[in-house]
Structure 1
Amino acid sequence: MASTTESFGTGEPDGDTTMAAITHILALFTWVVGPLVVYVVTDDAFVKENARNAINWQIWLTVYSLIALALVFLFVGFLALPVLGLLDTVFVVIAAVKAADGEAWSYPLTIDLL
C-alpha cells in the first residue's frame, strides 16, 4: 500500500502530538505492547489513530520477519532481516516526526488490521 498522510484539522493539530510521537518511538522498544496500552487508555482520537498505525506496522513487521527467518534457510533471509530492522527504525522515526507535526502517517507495506 502507498504511504499516505492524514491531517487532523488545519492550523493547530487537534490532538496531543507529543504523545502520538512517543507512541511510535515506544513501539521500537516494546513491540505492540506500548502502543496497545496507549490505544486502550487514551481518549484522544489523534493519539488513537497513531497508536493504531504503530500497532499495525509492528504486526506486519513481525509477519515479514517470520518470512525472512524462514528464508534464512535459502540464504536470502540473511539479507532481509537487517533490512527489516533498518526499515523499522526509519519508518518509526518518520511516523514520529509526522505525528509531532500533527499528521497520522500510514506506514507503507501495511494492511490495517486494527
Structure 2
Amino acid sequence: MTSKSTPPGPELLDERSIGGILVHLLGLFTGFFGPILLYAVSDHEFTRTNARYVINWHLTVFALMVIAFVMFFLGADEITVGGETTEVTLLPPPLDIVFGLVGFFLVLILLIAILLTFVYTIVATIKAIFGSVWTYPGSIAFVERYW
C-alpha cells in the first residue's frame, strides 16, 4: 500500500517558494503594500497565488475600516476638540443615530477582523510551509485570477 504524500526536498521546492511562505508575514507588517510589491515582481506561481490571497484579505480589512469609520463619524452628533464639546450634525436626527449604531457595530467587526488577521497569518504561513495555498475566509476577491 502506497500513500501519496508531499514530495521530499528539491521537488517540493520547485512547487513552492520562500516568497510564497513569507508573503503572509510581510502582509502582517506592511498591510497590502508589501504583498502587492511582491505580487508585481514575482514570476513564481506559488508566490503570486499566496500574495493574491494576502492582498485580498488586507484590502477587505482596509475597506471595512474606511466604511466603519465613515459611518461612525457621520453618525456622531458632537465632537470634543481641546476639551470643548462642539455640536456637529451632518445628518438629520433619525439618520445620525442609525449611522452611529451601524458604524459602531462595523468598528466591532473591524476589531474582530484585525484579530483574525493574526490567526489567518499563522494558518496561511503554516499551510504555505507544507506546500499548499490557503484562501483567507471572508475576503473579497479584489485581485482576480489574472491581474
TM-score (norm 2): 0.63
* Unmatched 5+ stretches in structure 2: 73-99
Residues paired across the two proteins, number: 104
Question: Who is 2:22 aligned against?
Answer: 22
Tell me how far 1:63 sits from its aligned partner. Answer: 1.6
Match of residue 103, structure 1, among 122, 127, 132: 132
Contact 1:20 1:46 in 2 (8 A): yes
Corresponding residue number in structure 2 for 1:33? 33
Q: Distance in 1 between matches of 2:43 and 2:136?
A: 22
Q: Which has the higher contact order (CA 8 A, sep 6+)?
A: 1
Cα root mean square deviation, aligned: 1.8
C-alpha distance after superposition, 1:55-112 (max 9, x if no partner): 1111111122223324543232452232121011111111111111111111111232
Contact kept? 1:32, 1:58, Cα under 8 Å? yes
- Dislocated runs of 4+, deviation >6 Å: none
With normalisation by structure 1, the TM-score equals 0.79
Which structure: larger Rg?
2
Aligned to 1:46: 46
Sequence identity, in percent? 33
**2:35·2:55 contact (CA, 8 Å) conserved in 1?**
yes
